[in-house]
């Protein structure tokens, strides 16, 4: 689909791609839970495994954002004019649509999260939440670096 979109043609497999991205997200979510259990058990390589799962999650978020940005028409003429006016203000946003996609993705994660009814499931969800929180904190740092570079 990305090749089709790059060529200016409409995407053909959006439902399948979104389903696969959601499935991959679910698997990564389970990996975060497993890694959190290893960290709680003080496994020697737990931190290394956490970093690997985190990088995998970051790649998935980037893929999802890239796909969503390419799926939607990037900017219509009317919105391009309004963004041009906004960019003349002191605070500039390099890619406002990326912020929107990322926030929508984070909101989807929050909306679909299941909270357990017993201690082990709540602890598992807490581990997942910590991973999501770290992702958000890292994204916040990237935003702050981008603003500082402007």
pLDDT in tens, 129-147: 788 888 888 899 999 999 9
pLDDT tens digits, 16-26: 888 888 898 88
Q: CA 32 to CA 130: how far, in whole Å?
A: 9
Question: Selecting from 1.20.58.60, 1.10.3720.10, 3.40.50.300, 3.40.50.150, what CATH number does the domain 2-149 have?
Answer: 1.20.58.60
Segment 8-67, tens digit of pLDDT: 777 777 788 888 888 988 888 888 888 888 888 888 888 888 888 888 888 888 888 877
Q: How far apart are CA 46 and CA 128, in angstroms?
A: 14
| Tokens 């496994």 found at | 43
* Model pTM score: 0.45
Block residue for tokens 């999650």: 57
- Domain ranges in the chain are 2-149
- 8 A C-beta contact, residue 71 and residue 14: yes
């Amino acid at each position: 689909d990305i090749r089709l979109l790059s060529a200016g043609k409409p995407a053909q497999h959006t439902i399948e791609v979104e389903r696969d991205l959601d499935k991959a997200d679910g698997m990564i979510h389970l990996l975060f839970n497993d890694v959190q259990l290893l960290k709680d058990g003080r496994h020697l390589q737990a931190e290394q495994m956490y970093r690997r799962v985190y990088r995998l999650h970051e790649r998935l978020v980037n893929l999802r954002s890239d796909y969503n940005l390419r799926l939607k028409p990037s900017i219509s003429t009317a919105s391009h004019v309004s963004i041009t006016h906004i960019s003349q203000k002191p605070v500039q946003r390099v890619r406002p649509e990326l912020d929107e996609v990322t926030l929508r993705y984070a909101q989807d994660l929050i909306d679909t999260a299941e909270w357990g009814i017993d201690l082990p499931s709540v602890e598992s969800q807490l581990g997942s939440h910590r991973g999501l929180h770290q992702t958000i904190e890292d994204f916040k740092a990237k935003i702050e670096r981008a603003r500082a570079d402007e």
